[in-house]
Structure 1
Amino acid sequence: MSKLTIIYWSGTGNTQMMAEALFEGAKEVSDQVKLISVENATIQDVIDAEVVALGCSSMGNEVLDPDDMEPFVESIEEAVKSKKVFLFGSYGWGDGEWMRDWEKRMVEYGGLLVEEGLIINEAPDEGGLEQCRDYGRQLGQ
């Protein structure tokens, strides 16, 4: 059982930077934190976590990565029921519609959103990374 499991997909490295900062913050308050690239994640990782943080950048017409993250999100529909969920990701254009759609979907799956999704435009600056660390500290408690 882990307190917090962070599962992410990153195309350019921006969402990976966010995931790593979340992990850093969480590690300050808990030793039960896992950081996993979605290609290596399993449904069991979600089941075993008290809190799941899912990260994915916005793709194309404000959607999740279709090759890895989208199939994974579909596969965890049952596993996120009554599970605390936090969503995050970076974007290069648009207004965050992909995050609003993703939040709605997690709620429809029965997930319990612990915060509004965190989105950062382009590469996170030091302020954005510190914001991620703060969320990590909160989620790891």
Structure 2
Amino acid sequence: MSKVTIIYWSGTGNTKTMAEFIEAGAKSKGSEVVLKEVGEATIQDIEQADVVALGCPSMGDEILEESEMEPFIEEIKNYVKNKKIVLFGSYGWGDGQWMRDWEERMLSYGAVIQLDCIIANYEPDEDKKEECVELGKKIAQ
């Protein structure tokens, strides 16, 4: 089984909910899972994982949260080359441009984006929760 690390930032709790459903899916397949808020995460969390799931909502003009998530992504850019990464998050407006930008950025750092990113409009509905569980199961293998 793979070691899965899930690191997220959540303002309203929507992205945290998504992270918890991804965690549940990965654990259901027997994976060792580390779930951390980004403020508690370290480079070692990235290095020690087989798969890393990063979650952040869209902020402002469709950008990553700037005080914690943005600096963390900048900090790990030299540690994600050839690392399997999945991205997730919620948004309240726009069309998901922040996620497309984030995906391109991670690819430019050499990360391997294994699966489609998951975005939820506001609070994840039952379908999005199930998508998160399924994502967790897929990254656990």
TM-score bucket (shorter structure): over 0.9
Deviations 1:24-67 (A, max 9, x none): 01000124111111010001100100000000000000000000
In the TM superposition, 1:17-96 aligns within 5 A as 17-96=17-96
Structure 2 regions of 5+ residues with no counterpart?
none
CA RMSD of aligned residues (A): 0.8
Structure 1 vs Structure 2: percent identity of aligned residues?
56
How many aligned positions are there?
Answer: 140
Alpha-carbon shift at residue 115 of structure 1 (Å) = 1.3
Structure 1 regions of 5+ residues with no counterpart?
none
| Structure 2: distance between partners of 1:21 and 1:131 | 9
| Structure 1: distance between partners of 2:43 and 2:121 | 29
- Please give the TM-score of this superposition, normalised by the length of structure 1: 0.97
Q: 4+ residue stretches of structure 1 with deviation over 6 A?
A: none
Alpha-carbon shift at residue 20 of structure 1 (Å) = 0.2
Q: Is the 8 A contact 2:4 2:31 kept in 1?
A: no
Q: Which residue of 2 aligns with 1:103?
A: 103
- Please give the TM-score of this superposition, normalised by the length of structure 2: 0.97
Q: Which residue of 2 aligns with 1:134?
A: 134
| Secondary structure at the counterpart of residue 79 of structure 2 | coil
| Structure 2: distance between partners of 1:122 and 1:105 | 24
Q: Which residue of 2 aligns with 1:16?
A: 16
| Structure 2: distance between partners of 1:122 and 1:111 | 27
Alpha-carbon shift at residue 76 of structure 1 (Å) = 0.3
